[in-house]
Amino acid sequence: MSDPNVEKEAGSTQEPVKDTNHSDAPTPEPEKKKREYKDFGHEEEAATHAKVDMSQIQLKAEDLYDKDKVDLETIVVDDVFKLLQCDENGLSDEEAQRRLELFGPNKLESEEQNPFLQFLSFMWNPLSWVMEGAALVAIVLSNGEHRPPDWEDFVGIVLLLFINSAIGFYEERNAGNAVKALMDSLAPKAKVKRNGQWKEIESSELVPGDMIAFKIGDIVPADCRLTEAINVSIDQAALTGESLPSSKKNGDQCFSGSTCKQGEAEGVVISTGANTFFGRAASLVGQDDDTTGHLQKILAQIGSFCLVSIGIFVIAEIFCLYAGFRYNYRRGLDNILVLLIGGIPIAMPTVLSVTLAVGAQQLAKYKAIVTRITAIEELAAVTILCSDKTGTLTTNKLTIDRETIRIYGPFSIEDVILLAAYASRTENQDAIDTCVVGALDDPSRARAGITLLDFKPFNPVDKRTEITYREESSGKLKRVTKGMTGIIIELCTRNKTEELENKLEADVEEFAARGLRALAVAYEELDGDDPEGEGNGFELIGLLPIFDPPRDDTKQTIDDALLLGVKVKMVTGDQLAIAKETGRRLGLGDHMYPAKVLKDGPEPGSRFANLDEMILDADGFAGVFPEHKYEIVKRLQGLGHLCAMTGDGANDAPALSRANVGIAVEGATDAARGAADIVLTEPGLSTIVHAIRGSRIIFQRMRNYSIYACAVTIRIVVCFAILAFAFKFDFPPFMVLIIALLNDGTIMTLSVDRVLPSMTPDSWDLAEIFSFAVAYGIYLTASTIALVAIIIKTTFFHDKFGVTLTNGATMATDHNDPQLHMIVYLQVAIISQALIFVTRSHGFFFMERPSVALFVAFCIAQLVSSIIAAYGDWGFTNIHSISGGWIGIVWVWNIIWFFPLDLIKFAMKATVIKRLRARHEAQLARQTKDTGVPITRTQSRAASIHESLYSNRVSFIRRAARKVGFGQKVSMKPEELQRFSSIQAQRTGTVLARNPSRQAA
């Protein structure tokens, strides 16, 4: 078995040299079995034959790509030509055109979106429906009884609605398109043989059966089987995750999108477009049955909570006010409008968008570009981080592990490294030569003190390099060779003994078990001055272990992630032994499994009852393909986990897209960046820890606002409905809009509020949020009703403070006294805003200092509210200014009622919230007992009814496209509708521009 490390020594385009395996060296005795050194590498699969009747095969895509019938990737090349009905002279133009119609173009199709319908689709969700309903009531239903429509409320609501839609539309239109990035990285041109002549065509015109050619630097334009390969080395790391370029020989398969790093080749195309290995990876991008984003589901559920709350009391008012009190049409409608305007969290999408946008700017300081703004919220809830290895956890740069170098002769470790560097190229280096020369403290020593006489670069025949040189200090001629262990030991006639071979074999096996690639080094001296002369026999002097080392900060990053409650799993296309060794070095663990377990499941009798249990326990998986990465993430999500996935290659794109948060690391391909939600522009993973902490701060701000918004909804709806039922109190709708606008202006500053991140993954527990909201809302309702009841039923405030109402009244015999309306407005405005200081803190409100912006905004809003109360005499609404005495009374009243809010919070935590959490933990315990797999809650993901509300947005735009005659011109994928970006997307474009896709020569 060949050693892929040494086989992958790239950089030479010379013809293979003559075999120099010392044929005259003593041969082993016939009865002695030749040793099979377990050099680390891929198992070679024997070619198979097609399991079909060649005379009956039909040239159809359904047949050629059905692996149960025929596997074009493994059958012998002669059968490939028979099955594809072609030969080495290529196809005719007519046949190529026929096949193009049969198989389709060799490219990935992208779908177009109609901008106008896309904009309209943002008005299709529960929150927008309530807002639209309120606007409709204000402008249409309010037009009657000699009174004009309620233009003020209508304009305010519609303006906010359009602003929210515009923000969403802008973000989505700027979102990265992963499929387009994958398509753009394909080679645009291809050298093909048609009618027996070589010519250059668009790669999209390639068809199965075409003969193609490529050379060093070219991108392979389609999946092919090689018919001629001259010293070919292919870099397919971006597709398979392999650390090194892969040597290819006749009959081997090359993947579309991989890069030729050495040599030149000809081959026959076996699959094109979406049927290539590259295309299958692209087709997985966006194949997410989760048609709505996580934050959208939360918004849907909060919107539904507000909608139901409003609906209950609106229906109650219709029956009570019209049927019971016999209100006239317009009077009853004004009361209903108060509930609609006050109950809608009008600014919720805007507040959350601003919070996320500010968060995206803050994350940009840590070199993390957010390309889907809602991913910030999901990152806070991530419980598992699935990380690619090559180039992500590791440097993707081979290194010699000095601590495990083996010495077999009278040489030191430094001597062995120096001699190995002599046997390496110093320019036009491949990966092996680079790491060997790089192991020297000064790379110039690789040629210092010697005179180069002859150098034989690596070639697939000899599988080694060799240098003959003159040592300037002694004038002696010497020779050094390095390469595959089995080849080198056969050359070592001077010190090859049974004992040495046993030791070497044991060392190579140890290296292979640890995922280290073995590079043997041998040395000999020459008699005389003839560089071509025979030496005194090679002597094995050392074995160099080569590996892809972890990044310097990776271990610390993993430790930090674990402290934050995020479990890290390695998911790599590299070999199992390499993955285990990397896991051990990083402290990640070595409970890793080959990808085949994802298909076969746990072995009978193992400690795992099912595959899900094994995936949860595993520290990682090795030898995975794009389908496997995608499946791992999907299964973890199915268990209730929110997953982040890091990667850098096209092979990572499907899993990056499927993951709740896809993270493209620094230096990632266009495809990975396009599929990712966050793009890192700095090497290493330390940025991810900053991003997780930052996202949890942002999450806390959004949670605080959500409790506040729901509490205000309950507070307004319940309060004014009870006031209408109990006292026939008709509050002016416009004043509710003023309260909402002042509240929203203050709440916007929550986006920069000072909060502490949690040390465990955050989760939207809506039962807790709604419980807090109801408790706060009912309490604040009581504060207002108590005040109104005292003013209406008693003369308490006149007796104690000497204040009066309209026309000197000592109590509100007129329940709709304009000054009473103003008193209620001021009381509701002040204490509603003050509530935010309670919802934003976990302990007493004065123990957690708010941001300066929030405090200043609160003070300004209260000043404006007090000024309106003191001077607001507006003719279009039923209010009248009140005296300073009343303003003082309202302030003192609110302060008295404010302090017990913290006690309500603590009481809720000790009773209702504690019970909710206990019930949830019991439910988890039952699920774990039944399935054997601990399931992490993410309650919002199970809310199918709320998902369907947002899914309607998808069906709406499709129906609209058909209605207005766009037909097939508009084809929008559900997953594309949920992709958001931020103003940071422009920076992403700049990064992509600096790292364009490589074009074929």
Q: Tell me, letter by letter, the H, E, C secondary structure of 417-445.
A: HHHHHHCCCCCCCCHHHHHHHHCCCCHHH
| Identity of the highest mean pLDDT range in 112-121, 137-146, 283-292, 738-747 | 738-747
Q: Which residues pair with 228 in a beta bridge?
A: 266
Spatial distance between the Cα atoms of 987 and 683, rounded to a whole number of angstroms: 17
Nearest residue to 589 via CA among 621, 620, 622 = 620
* 405: β partners: none
Is residue 792 predicted with pLDDT exceeding 70?
yes
DSSP 269-281: EEE-GGGSHHHHH
What b/e readout covers 954-973, taking b as 16+ CB neighbours within 10 angstroms?
Answer: beebbebbeeeebeeebbbb
If you average pLDDT over residues 301-322, what whole number do you get?
88
Residue 278 to residues 183, 255, 658, Cα–Cα distance (Å): 9, 7, 17
| pLDDT score at 995 | 39
In 3-state terms, what secondary structure has residue 78? helix
pLDDT, tens only, 568-600: 899 887 878 888 888 888 888 888 888 888 888
User: CA-to-CA distance for 570 and 389, rounded, in angstroms?
Assistant: 6
Residue 670: its pLDDT value, please?
A: 62
- Kindly report the pTM of this predicted structure: 0.67
* pLDDT given for residue 283 in this prediction: 63
214 three-state secondary structure: strand
Per-residue pLDDT, 542: 92
- The whole-chain average pLDDT of the chain stands at 77
Q: How confident is the model at residue 828 (pLDDT cuts 50, 70, 90)?
A: very high
Range of lowest pLDDT (489-503, 617-631, 949-963): 949-963
Residue 963 has pLDDT above 60, yes or no: no
**CB neighbours of 14 closer than 8 A, spacing ≥ 6?**
231, 457, 459
Q: How would residue 966 be classed by pLDDT, with cut points 50, 70 and 90?
A: very low
User: What residue has token string 């070639």?
Assistant: 459
- The mean pLDDT of 318-337, rounded to a whole number, is 85
CA 1 from centroid of its chain's CA atoms:
38
Buried b (16+ CB within 10 A) or exposed e, 714-742: bbbbbbbbbbbbebebbbbbbbbbbbbbb
pLDDT at 418: 92
User: 85 in the Ramachandran plot: left (φ > 0), alpha (ψ -120 to 50) or beta?
Assistant: left
The single-letter code of the amino acid at 64 is L
986: tokens are 């422009």
Looking from the CA of 264 toward its CB, the CA atoms found within 13 Å total: 9
Q: What pLDDT, on a 0 to 100 scale, did the predictor assign at position 59? A: 53
pLDDT above 80: residue 915: yes
Amino acid at 233: S
Distance between terminal CA atoms of the chain?
34
- For residue 279, how far is the Cα from the chain centroid? 20
* CA separation for the pair 342, 713 (Å, rounded): 7
Grade residue 479 by pLDDT with cuts at 50, 70 and 90. very high
Element (H, E) at 192: strand 189-194
Q: 861 and 742 in contact (C-beta within 8 Å)?
A: yes
Local confidence band at 367 (pLDDT 50, 70, 90 cut-offs): confident
Q: 54-63, 852-861, 884-893: which range is least confident on average?
A: 54-63
Mean pLDDT of 169-173: 58
pLDDT at 791: 94
Count of beta carbons in the 10 Å neighbourhood of residue 461: 14
pLDDT at 928: 60
Closest CA relative to residue 386, chosen from 615, 711, 205, 681: 615
pLDDT > 90: percent of the chain: 20
For residue 427, the model assigns a pLDDT of 76
Residue pair 851/752 in contact by the 8 Å Cβ criterion: yes
Evaluated on CA atoms 365, 366, 372, 377, the torsion sign reads negative
Contact partners, residue 39, CB within 8 Å, separation at least 6: 1, 2, 3, 5, 484, 485, 486, 508, 512, 517, 518
Contacts by residues 809-812 (CB-CB < 8 Å, ≥ 24 positions apart)? 812/788
pLDDT (average), residues 221-234? 88
- As a whole number of Å, the CA-based R_g of the chain is 36
Q: What is the mean pLDDT of residues 891-898?
A: 95
Q: What is the DSSP letter of 996?
A: P
Looking at residue 862, its pLDDT comes to 93
Q: Which one of 388, 548, 560, 762 is the catalytic residue?
A: 388
Which pLDDT band, with edges at 50, 70 and 90, does 534 fall under?
A: confident
SS3 for 964?
coil
Is 388 known to be catalytic? yes
Instruction: Report the C-alpha gap between 344 and 738 in whole angstroms.
Output: 13
Q: What angle do CA 937, 940, 941 make, to 5 degrees?
A: 80
Q: How far is CA 824 from the centre of its chain?
A: 49
Confidence label for 322 from pLDDT (cuts 50, 70 and 90): confident
